[in-house]
Chains A and B, each alone.
Chain A
Amino acid sequence: MSSLHLVNKGNQSSDALNLCRTALALNDSVLFIQDGCYNVLPGELEVLIEAFPEVTFHVLEPDLRARGLLNRRHPSVIMVDYNGFVELTEQHNPVLSWY
């Protein structure tokens, strides 16, 4: 079963995403939460998508919306609510948390 990586910091303010990348494997999923939402700006996420074409990137919608990023997100990122967050945890194990 593939892993789920929760990332709660932006790339510019923390090494969380960088460390996550080391452990990120084929077919894993990433869910950006809290300040991790800043990683789904088009320029930021494009870099990740190119490096990890087999990984699915998600973002927690309420956190994205709070930050005024609804219309500033990369078109490929999948928005999920908390129900979707739960579903992601059902489909993956282990669940890692990069902060």
Chain B
Amino acid sequence: MKYALAVYGAPYASESSQTALHFAMALLEKGHQITRVFFYHEGVYTANVLGVSPQDELDPLRPWHTFAEAQGIELVVCVAAALKRGLLNDVEAERYGKSGSNLDDKFEIAGLGQFIDAVISSDKVITFGC
């Protein structure tokens, strides 16, 4: 079956993105497909490359990056939610004259249309709240 996943919680403020990742891995192991993972509300913070996590703890971003790379999963961060919270890729940083960008390159930045499109084209929609 095709699943759309949404993540609303930020790392450390919530377990949202960790639960979502473990779930996503289990989905693929069972032979399901993931249409897209859409990061909304505070979930956008998951894509921040500038985080330095304690050595003995799991990095909130790295496993997503590896997972997306290995499995070809689409990770999308909502543009409006990201911009206002200071998550920018190079294009947006340039556009808004910001000193740097911090969005992991495995995450695409896109509008809510991508979220609704995923909801429409999937059999199941699972949201991981904050």
Contacts and interface: CB of A to CB of B under 8 A. Distances in A.
Answer whether A and B touch in the complex at a CB cut-off of 8 Å: yes
Contacts of B26: 82-83, 85-86
Contact of A82 (B8, B15, B23, B123): B23
Contact of A86 (B30, B123, B125, B128): B30
A14 to B, nearest CB: 11
A82 B124 contact: no
A52 interface: no
Interface string A26-45: 00000001110000000000
Given A83-B30, A86-B27, A33 B19 contact: yes
Interface in B70-103: none
Contacts, number: 47
A95 B125 contact: yes
B126 interface: yes
A86 B15 contact: no
A89 interface: yes
B20 to A, nearest CB: 11
Interface of A: 6, 8, 33-35, 60, 62-63, 82-83, 85-86, 89-90, 93-95, 97-99
